[in-house]
Amino acid sequence: MSRIISIFNMKGGVGKSTTAYNLAAGLARFHQQHILLIDIDPQGNSAASLGIKIWDLELQLRDVLLRHSSLHEATISLSDHIDIVPSNIRLAEDEIPISGLPGRELLLRKAIASVLDDYDFILIDCPPNIGVFSINALMASNEVIIPVDMSYLGLLGISSIEKALDLIHSALEHPIEITGVLATRFDARNNLSKEVLQSLQHRFTAQMFSTVIPESVKLREAPSFSLSIFDHDSNGKGAKAYLSLVEEVIGCQ
């Protein structure tokens, strides 16, 4: 049975896609885990970062959600261990028809039901909002990783994330375990980074990952080479931090 984890935060630019694709790469590389990475963000960043040509897709996640194709048909195999279901802007174009479908919150959960035995992890990269796509991701998941960047607004956004998860729990009767809150884009030269990190650790205590993802030029530039951080700069601080996250995620099975 797969562990199904959404990478979720309603704020953009916090490192959701960076975390989704590097976590996928690290779990595959260091633990030989079989991974399905589902990109449910019309920006298509996590699939594009691994070199998928998201502008000429024959099939993509939108076709699965609209029930025009099976998940299997829309899956692209990147390597022996990583499969990807990509998206591009056409997913956004179809948000209204998808929102009008019966059982619209459960489209993704139903689509992945047939592949749960094929993967150790299904990672879902969410868009930066709480519309029908994020709800589909959360309803399909049993865990969530919440990356939070080291900014005042990042900290401020935490309450709305907790409310969104509560809503999913109470209104849609689907409890989700927080695998961890992940501090991202930490810059040790910056006092705000340290203050935000302290506030997060104080608030989330055991739910915080010990790993802190640093702000790093290598992490920022890796997608332009279609490489994970482990291939782009294997000994750098970004790779060390994401490897540490991989170990924590494996450790909390």
Residues near ligand ADP (CB under 6 A) are 12-18, 45, 128, 184-185, 213, 215-216, 219-220, 223
By CB under 5 A, is residue 211 in contact with Mg ion?
no
By CB under 5 A, is residue 134 in contact with Mg ion?
no
Minimum gap (Å) between residue 7 Cβ and ligand ADP:
8
Cβ–Cβ < 8 Å for 182, 211:
yes
By CB under 5 A, is residue 18 in contact with Mg ion?
no
What length is written for the chain? 253
Give residues 37-96 in contact with Mg ion (rule: CB under 5 A): 45
By CB under 5 A, is residue 185 in contact with Mg ion?
no
Partner from Mg ion, ligand ADP, none binding residue 15, C-beta < 5-8 Å depending on class: ligand ADP
The 10 Å Cβ neighbour count of residue 171 is 9
Nearer to Mg ion, 129 or 160 (CB): 129
State which of residues 2, 9, 17, 179 lies at the interface with Mg ion (CB under 5 A). Answer: 17
3-class state of residue 253 by DSSP: coil
Partner from Mg ion, ligand ADP, none binding residue 2, C-beta < 5-8 Å depending on class: none
Nearer to Mg ion, 45 or 141 (CB): 45
By CB under 5 A, is residue 11 in contact with Mg ion?
no
- Number of H helices and E strands in the chain, helices first, is 13, 8
Minimum gap (Å) between residue 126 Cβ and Mg ion:
8
By CB under 5 A, is residue 16 in contact with Mg ion?
yes
Q: Which residue is nearest to Mg ion (CB)?
A: 17
From CA 179, how far away is CA 165, in angstroms rounded? 13
From CA 64, how far away is CA 207, in angstroms rounded? 33
Instruction: Please give the span between the terminal C-alpha atoms of the chain, in angstroms, as a whole number.
Output: 12
From CA 196, how far away is CA 155, in angstroms rounded? 7
Residue 80 CB contacts under 8 Å (≥ 6 apart), including other chains: none
C-alpha distances in Å from residue 68, one per residue of 38, 63, 65, 71: 17, 5, 8, 10
Minimum gap (Å) between residue 14 Cβ and ligand ADP:
4
Nearer to ligand ADP, 44 or 176 (CB): 44
By CB under 5 A, is residue 216 in contact with Mg ion?
no
The 10 Å Cβ neighbour count of residue 83 is 22
The residues binding Mg ion (CB under 5 A) are: 16-17, 45
